[in-house]
């Protein structure tokens, strides 16, 4: 997989007219650059440099004790090692290739492209001091956004499997859940089913799964509580698993029938169907070249037109090796999202679509689907929920 991603990176550098991309890491066990898992697949101890050129040349500079490990990966044309300082090897490579633009991993808006710490940045600039190359530094945000966003067929296959597993667990939840159980009871059941498969959660276990039942003020990223699931409650679950390094992130909504009920009340169904339709409208508009803000606007305006408050977050995010991945977002033009809502979407990016709305007296209705952008539209990775799940 690392060779595939390095080859992809070379193509992206040429698309963006950037001559060189350098990833800098140190003491990976303590704090590593998120992109290391894509292009190296191993960690380092001493200050190290992984250099990919638009010409296709690939070099690594590592401490002498890391030399053998990095050479065994067979990813780089040559691996240089140093005992005292990496400066001579670094400047030698730069002088040989003479890049006009050198991208390193910093970004104001995208966490996945902001892997260089300030300390490592300062050390890097000291090594370049007086060489002239210190004036050629640019952000690698667009490189990493494309690298993480453009999924290969194998990456998508793994995510589809993670989706399948998550939905299978949700099917079991419908049969398992009974009034009188707590949010924590349901969460423990989901965790048990996941652990039977030997899989890890897509994000921190404290809030994966998240379970929310009935009227409440808890935020969408809160963990399950001792709150009891009661008849007449709407409850929803947000969960996902990691399958072979790739994540799922899905939400589903249930209604707990009261005595004598055979279906959810009209107020519940009005809200639930609003969510379903807002997702469908957003899905139909997805295609390469559109901006995330335009997709978010479709869902947001539809939900408000149906008499509900707008949801207090982005409509969707990218998914990959982490649940929140990539750069472009399906999001409004809020300051907290920076430029991410304005980035044009690309083929093979995987996004969630996850609007939500509050149903007074009942709870929160929300669905989170996963889709992949295709050449002229989008494709569901998760068969969409169109009927509310009922608990008897």
- The rounded radius of gyration (Å) of the Cα atoms in the chain is 23
Sign of the four-CA dihedral 181, 182, 186, 188: negative
pLDDT tens profile 74-105: 999 999 999 999 999 999 999 999 999 999 99
Distance CA 266, CA 304 (A): 18
pLDDT tens profile 28-78: 999 999 999 999 999 999 999 999 999 999 999 999 999 999 999 999 999
- Whether the CB-CB separation of 367 and 385 falls below 8 Å is answered with yes
- The CATH H-level (homologous superfamily) assignment of domain 2-148 is Creatinase/prolidase N-terminal domain (3.40.350.10)
Give the CATH number of domain 150-391; options: 3.30.160.150, 3.20.20.80, 3.30.70.3040, 3.90.230.10.
Answer: 3.90.230.10
Size (the chain), residues: 392
Residue 220 has a pLDDT of: 60
Domain boundaries, the chain: 2-148, 150-391
Q: What confidence category does residue 222 fall into, taking pLDDT thresholds of 50, 70 and 90?
A: confident
Distance CA 165, CA 158 (A): 11
Question: Which structure tokens are listed for 150?
Answer: 């453009």
For the cut 70, the answer to whether the pLDDT of residue 219 exceeds it is no
DSSP assignment of 83-122: SS-SHHHHHHHHHHH--S-EEES--SS-GGG--S-HHHHH
Residue 49 has a pLDDT of: 98
Nearest to 192 by CA among 172, 167, 178: 172
Residue 216 has a pLDDT of: 80
Helix, strand, coil distribution of the chain in percent, nearest 5:
35, 25, 40
pLDDT tens profile 337-348: 999 999 999 999
Tokens 């949801």, located at residue: 311
Distance CA 343, CA 329 (A): 8
For the cut 80, the answer to whether the pLDDT of residue 218 exceeds it is no
Q: What confidence category does residue 223 fall into, taking pLDDT thresholds of 50, 70 and 90?
A: confident
DSSP-derived letter for residue 76 is S
What's the mean pLDDT in 268-295?
Answer: 98
Give bridge partners of residue 81 from the DSSP assignment.
Answer: 62
pLDDT tens profile 130-150: 999 999 999 999 999 999 999
pLDDT tens profile 299-346: 999 999 999 999 999 999 999 999 999 899 999 999 999 999 999 999
Residue 1 has a pLDDT of: 82
């Amino acid at each position: 997989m690392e060779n595939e991603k390095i080859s992809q990176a070379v193509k992206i550098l040429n698309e963006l007219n950037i001559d060189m991309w350098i990833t800098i890491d140190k003491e990976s066990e303590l704090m590593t650059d998120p992109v290391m898992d894509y292009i190296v697949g191993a960690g380092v101890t001493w200050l190290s440099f992984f250099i990919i050129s638009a010409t296709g040349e690939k070099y690594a500079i590592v401490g002498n004790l890391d030399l053998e490990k990095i050479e065994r990966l067979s990813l780089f044309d040559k691996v240089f090692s140093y005992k005292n300082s990496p400066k001579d090897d670094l400047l030698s490579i730069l002088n040989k290739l003479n890049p006009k633009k050198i991208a390193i991993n910093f970004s104001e808006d995208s966490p996945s492209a902001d892997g260089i710490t300030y300390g490592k940045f300062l050390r890097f600039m000291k090594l370049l001091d007086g060489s002239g190359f210190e004036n050629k530094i640019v952000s690698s945000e667009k490189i990493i956004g494309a690298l993480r966003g453009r999924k290969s067929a194998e990456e998508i296959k793994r995510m589809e499997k993670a989706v399948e597993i998550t939905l299978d667990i949700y099917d079991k939840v419908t049969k398992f859940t009974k009034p009188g159980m707590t949010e924590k009871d349901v969460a423990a059941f989901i965790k048990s089913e996941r652990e039977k498969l030997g899989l890890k959660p897509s994000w921190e276990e404290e809030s994966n799964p998240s379970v929310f039942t009935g009227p409440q003020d808890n935020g969408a990223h809160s963990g399950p509580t001792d709150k009891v699931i009661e008849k007449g409650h709407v409850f929803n679950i947000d969960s996902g698993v990691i399958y072979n390094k790739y994540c799922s992130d899905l939400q589903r909504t249930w209604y707990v029938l009261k005595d004598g009920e055979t279906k959810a009340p009209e107020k519940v169904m009005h809200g639930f169907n609003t969510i379903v339709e807002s997702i469908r409208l957003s899905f139909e508009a997805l295609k390469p070249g559109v901006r995330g803000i335009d997709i978010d606007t479709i869902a947001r305006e539809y939900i408000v037109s149906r008499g509900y408050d707008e949801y207090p977050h982005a409509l969707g995010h990218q998914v990959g090796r982490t649940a929140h991945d990539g750069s472009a977002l399906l999001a409004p033009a809020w300051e907290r999202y920076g430029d991410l809502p304005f980035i044009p979407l690309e083929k093979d990016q995987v996004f969630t679509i996850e609007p939500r709305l509050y149903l007074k007296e009942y709870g929160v209705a929300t669905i989170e689907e996963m889709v992949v952008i295709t050449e002229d539209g989008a494709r569901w990775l998760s068969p969409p929920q169109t009927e509310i799940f009922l608990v008897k």
